[in-house]
Each structure stands twice: as structure tokens, then as C-alpha cells.
Amino acid sequence: MSAEIPVNSLSRHIDPLHQELVQVSADVLSSGHYVLGPNVKAFEQEFAAYCGVAECVSVANGTEALELGLRSLGICPGKTVAVVANAAMYGTTAVLSCGAEPIFVDIDPVTHTMSPHALEKILSAPRHIDVVIVTHLYGQLADMEAIQALSSQYGFAIFEDCAQAHGARNAAGEKAGSFGRAASFSFYPTKNLGTLGDGGAITTNDGDLASRLRQLRQYGWTSKYRNELAGGRNSRLDELQAAFLRRMLPLLDGWNARRRKIATRYSTEISNPKITPPPAGGEDFVAHLFVIKTENRDDFQRHLAASGIGSDIHYPIPDHRQLLFGDRFDSLQIPVTENACEQIVTLPCFPELTDEEITRVVDACNRW
């Protein structure tokens, strides 16, 4: 049997940059700046410019980007936040950390992102929502035009979760991270723009919001040792990770283009009545993950494994069915979400995947 094709390969991704990243490390070591230094400041400026926004505030990881972003928007006990339930609890965890109430919204059956129709049904109930977390899942930009229209009508703030969508853009060229009051990013190593450890950021066009975020990421300080803002903590991107990200950012669009090419081959070449791939996407899809649906997931994954092809499930348990909630959401029915969580399978998709490997994955899918 040929060597296994992994779902992702960080070693393949980093190997071509190895020597450059060694030099980047040496430069940081010799600089004497390790926390909130010149590389952090420069990366924040460069990433803000890339996303087409005024401000970027870097933090320690994507989870804290979500939580601190919500706190900067005033989310606290007594507030309500709408969120999808098919994204591994990341947004929901942030809502709970703020002491707020999550309101779960069903998804679109094709894009797996928040359904504007399902959101409007909740809003017209009527149910007051303070913030809506819009997750651009799998690298697919959500229907921002429809959700922005609902925001104008019902008065909620939009907070984007862009952890899987670095560089996704709409037909007008507007990028993920530029549509809402604020947006969170993760730079975990497997992301489209990932560093060699943890890292995160919040983007915004609101200068006051950015100022609050800079306080929140450093204990809530207004000045050194003077704590005035509740909810702060130590959450800072370090100089080394910022330097790595600065080196990788110019490569992001090329990596995304390769991901999109792989995804397009899968979408157009997989032909099996038991498998439903997503349709081929445009620049609004950066193919962080390529996720198909099938009604016989276990058998399909066994077939892939026997063919030397890795697979995964992103994500098998909807948030409202997680054990931590007990019976709190027993009566909640969001059928499209629940159906998707039972049927999804992730195929290998990363920029260094070879054309021959893509063909092997397609052939294995079509043989099943």
C-alpha cells in the first residue's frame, strides 16, 4: 500500500521555510524584545492592512480572541449571544466565559455557516440578541450581506469568528474580519495562516474598541499596575510568533489559491451517489477544511483508511448536546446542524498535497 495521505501535514508546510524561520528566530533572540515588541506592533499593522481594517490587536490564542472580543463589546452576565452549534464549542465557550447566554442558530445545509433565515426566525420571535457570532466555517465566508441587513434591522452587533477563514473575500474584495464591529482570528499552526505555537488577534475599525482590547489583554490596565477594566488577563502574542507570522503573511494568498484548487478538484471530480461534496467555491472559500457528507460515515472512513487516506470529523457533537449542559437544551431542535454533525467527514486538504495524492483521494471516494 502507498504511504498514507494525511488530513494535514505541518512538516511539509514548514520544511520549505525552515532556514528562513531559523534566521527569524535568531533575529528575535538577539533583539532583546520578547513581549509586545517591534514585531508584534509591525504584524498588527500588516495584518490590519491585509484585512482592510484600521486596527488589529494580537492576543495569546484564538480562544481568548473570541472571549476578549466579546468582552470588548460589552458581553457579560445578562447578555445574549447568537452562535452556531457545529463549530466545536469555541464560540460557545467564549460566551459562557463571559457569563452570557448562548442562543443556538441553525445552519445553511450547503455552506454549514449560520442560516440568515434561521437567525431571523429567532429575532422575529421576538428574542433580543446583543451580539451574533458569525463563524466562517471550514474557510467559507458566511452570508454577510444578509446578516448585515438583519443587524441593521434588529440592532445586534456582528462579531466574526475568522479562525478558519484568513483571506476569504466576497465579490467586492472585502475580507473576513472586516464586516462586523470586531472579528477574532486564530493563528494555531494548522490554520491557513498559522504560526509555530499559539496566537490570536482581534480586528476592528473601532478605535475605542481596540483601546479596550489592548487593556483587556494586559490585566485591564489603564497604566502600569493600575487595573480599571474588569475581565482583563495576561493574553499577549509573543515576539517570536509575531515574527514568524510576518514572514508567512505574504505567502497566505498563494497557499489559499492552492487550497482552493484542491477543493475544486474534489468538488468536480468526486462522483459517488453516497457522497455529497460542497460545490466548487470562489474566493469566498479558502478551503481550510474540505468536508463532505455521507449517511454511512463509519464505513466510508474505514474504506479511506484501507486505501491509505486519512480522514477526520469536524465536528461530531453539536454544542447543545455537549454533556456539560446536562438537559438544559433537551427541547432545542436545530435539525440541519444535527444532521450535518452525523454525516460530515473531512478529507485531506492542505497546500502541499500533491496532484497525485489528490487523484488518489478522488479515486478512493469514487470506488467506495
Return d(Cα 258, Cα 16) in angstroms, integer. 16
Return d(Cα 230, Cα 213) in angstroms, integer. 12
Would the pLDDT of 126 be above 90? no
Say which CATH topology domain 251-367 has: Aspartate Aminotransferase, domain 1 (3.90.1150)
Yes or no: say if 239 and 39 are a contact pair by the CB < 8 Å rule: yes
CATH of the domain spanning 11-250 = 3.40.640.10
Q: Compute CA distances 26 → 31, 42, 76, 239, whole Å.
A: 9, 18, 42, 12
Mean pLDDT of 34-58: 97
- Position 283 scores a pLDDT of 98
Mean pLDDT of 126-134: 95
Parts of the chain belonging to CATH 3.90.1150.10: 251-367
Percent of the chain scored above 70 by pLDDT?
99
Select from 131, 92, 134, 138 the least CA-distant residue to 111. Answer: 138
pLDDT, tens digit, 9 for 90 and up, residues 225-250: 999 899 999 999 999 999 999 999 99
User: Mean of the per-residue pLDDT values for the chain?
Assistant: 97
Confidence of residue 149 (pLDDT cuts 50, 70, 90): very high
Mean pLDDT of 30-40: 96
- Position 102 scores a pLDDT of 98
Q: What would the 3-class secondary structure string for 283-316 be?
A: CCECCCCEEEECCCHHHHHHHHHHCCECCECCCC
> Beta-carbon neighbour count of residue 54 at 10 Å?
14
Bridge-based pairing of strands 200-204 and 157-161 is: unpaired
Amino acid at 251: L
Return d(Cα 164, Cα 168) in angstroms, integer. 9
Mean pLDDT of 35-40: 96
- Joined together, the cell numbers standing for residue 247 give 514572514
- Joined together, the cell numbers standing for residue 325 give 449542559
Parts of the chain belonging to CATH 3.40.640.10: 11-250
- Position 4 scores a pLDDT of 94
Return d(Cα 202, Cα 305) in angstroms, integer. 38
Select from 130, 123, 175 the least CA-distant residue to 150. Answer: 123
Would the pLDDT of 2 be above 70? no
Show the DSSP H helices in 217-352 as ranges. 239-248, 252-269, 297-306, 335-343
- Position 127 scores a pLDDT of 87
Return d(Cα 317, Cα 302) in angstroms, integer. 20
pTM exceeding the 0.95 threshold for the entire prediction: yes
pLDDT, tens digit, 9 for 90 and up, residues 156-214: 999 999 999 999 999 999 999 999 999 999 999 999 999 999 999 999 999 999 999 99
- Joined together, the cell numbers standing for residue 1 give 500500500
pLDDT, tens digit, 9 for 90 and up, residues 68-77: 999 999 999 9
Select from 139, 172, 168, 144 the least CA-distant residue to 158. Answer: 144
